[in-house]
Chain A
């Protein structure tokens, strides 16, 4: 039974949406339970490729972007707070480690891997390749979904660390070159401001965001019906759902941490 709830002009069928959220969780749980499948060479190959595509390929372009973001944040902070290295360092740690790193990484992975994986899995389903895998005695969930969920989760974690380092170091280098801030003094202040709790928070966020994104995009990719027009529909839906859930998760984690 569906219960339609109106949101302005839109009607939302609650049970089907809740069923989808439950399905995302089931996809994630299935992938964790069957992580040992990474012992099979073909599954491991998909896992490695996913990390390469989601993380390694994005790194060169993201280095410059992260440095510019770091420069902008540091410049804005010093314009407000003056050359107060300890305080600038603390705020940079809070913003880069706690927020910018995990969230920017999530946005990057949603816009690259979210689109790619959803449309790839949807195309495979429409072309009958899932059926072909079953006729080879290969469970499509085991071969297609498990390595992608685990790969994207790991990729987001690695990308977060990379972006945080690039934001801080790149930003400080740019500032040292452009606005005469002492690189070593600022770096020292930043290291002094980093706590274990900050690192743990960024790790938890990156893993949670990675799990959410991977589960959502795999679910929607495999949920298409028989029409090719459903591929872009599924892709749009998975990307939007990822953004919503990641930002909700970010808010929830922040709320729980600072309770």
Chain B
């Protein structure tokens, strides 16, 4: 079923919308959630919450790309659940490693957190990614959006792991400079 047909099911409040969504994108959502949570039960919970939030948001939304719409919802829900876990249970996952790597970019301070506008930060990140070449951008997004391991990224792009690590390191350094120029306190 095409995306627009599935979206029409939501608009018609047809309950098969969720079954069709799961059929087409269930695996995708589970993989996005798994890469963040590494827990089957938590993944299923997040995927179910994703479907619920999709049901609640369409209408009035009418996404053109259902895959990325679902992916963003699922990622957001999974990250929220990841953050709710106690610190004792965390550590050793790719998400933890990604957070540690991003700490190299922005540090770990929180004194300006209250005034930070997340959507403006997203715009800055988009601007930065637009300045990168496609291969660099894909590697960066696969690491920090999809939370793939360096090994998985290397395999996906037929590159050596050392090349992937170097690309990520250089991109993080450039992102740090970029955010500083944009006026962020780092």
Q: Are A and B physically bound partners?
A: no
